[in-house]
Amino acid sequence: MKRRQVITGLAVTLVLGLMLGLETHIDHTTSSNSMGSYLAQSQALTTAMQLSPKLQRRLAQDEKQLQALQATASNVSHGLAMMRQELVSLQKSAGLTSLQGPGLVITINYDPNLPVIPSLRYVDEAQQLQMVINLLAASGAKGFAINGQRLVTTTAIRSVNGLSAPAGPFSGTVQVGGVPIQAPYTIRVVGPVQSLNNMLQVEAIAQQFAILDQSFIVHAYRQYNGVSLPAYDGALPFSYITEVGA
């Protein structure tokens, strides 16, 4: 009799413990605990149905806003692409990119075989080079380089002659964009070959240089990749300044 009681107690307590253990698997802290009856579920459904139109309106507003933002982003990206294209174009025309095309290669050098005219030997070499560049630019040149130094709109060609410099042609130092160069001078120019050549012929540049004991040899390259110019890699005018109040 006592044994049966013990077995009964064991069975009951086992089941009770099992139920208590299972109870711990249920999260009573969630709000859905109140969904235990159909009444609560119907109330929740009514609330959800009342809330649904508001959420749909909100969703529609959000979609409109998303479309507006996407349209704005599209415009911004299109504008950015245009600006990039313009930047590339400006870089090309400013001489910040390498250039290749038909053109001339002009070599200026002292020629001892030419007749000496002493009074004309004291010339400013930078002015000579500047004159040639100006004439070529006027006849449609797209880009220049003197002894490998690319010329841009702000490039200065200067003669830097000290008081102790010896007299005579090629005696001083010419600076192109602040970089010293030495004779012989090689001017590489890209542009319409015929027009460039005509300008040099009309202005009789070779003869002018011959008077100064300097040879002026022009080679024309008519191929699409005839003359190559390097990109300008010097300092830009705004490299060393900052906007006031920026």
Partner 1 sequence: MVYIIPVAGLVIGLMVGLLINVHLPILYGSYLSVAILAAFDTVFGGLRSMLQKRFDHRVFLSGFFFNTLLAALLAFIGSILGLDLTLAAVVAFGVRIFNNLAAIRHLVLSRQKFESPNDRIS
Contact residues: partner 1, CB under 8 A: 2, 4-28, 30, 32-33, 35-39, 42
How many CB atoms neighbour CB 173 within 10 A?
16
**Using CA of residue 143, residue 144, residue 145, residue 150, what is the dihedral sign?**
negative
Shortest spacing between CB 31 and partner 1, in angstroms: 10
Q: Given the complex with partner 1, which of 8 and 52 has the nearer CB atom?
A: 8
Shortest spacing between CB 55 and partner 1, in angstroms: 24
Q: Given the complex with partner 1, which of 20 and 49 has the nearer CB atom?
A: 20
Shortest spacing between CB 29 and partner 1, in angstroms: 10
Q: Given the complex with partner 1, which of 42 and 93 has the nearer CB atom?
A: 42
185: β partners: 108
Q: Given the complex with partner 1, which of 6 and 163 has the nearer CB atom?
A: 6
What is the crossing angle of helices 125-138 and 193-202, to 10°?
Answer: 130
Dump the DSSP string for 119-162. GG----HHHHHHHHHHHHHHTT--EEEETTEEE-TT--EEEE--
Q: Which amino acid type is present at position 88?
A: V
Q: Given the complex with partner 1, which of 15 and 179 has the nearer CB atom?
A: 15
CA distance 47 to 60: 20
Shortest spacing between CB 84 and partner 1, in angstroms: 57
Shortest spacing between CB 35 and partner 1, in angstroms: 7
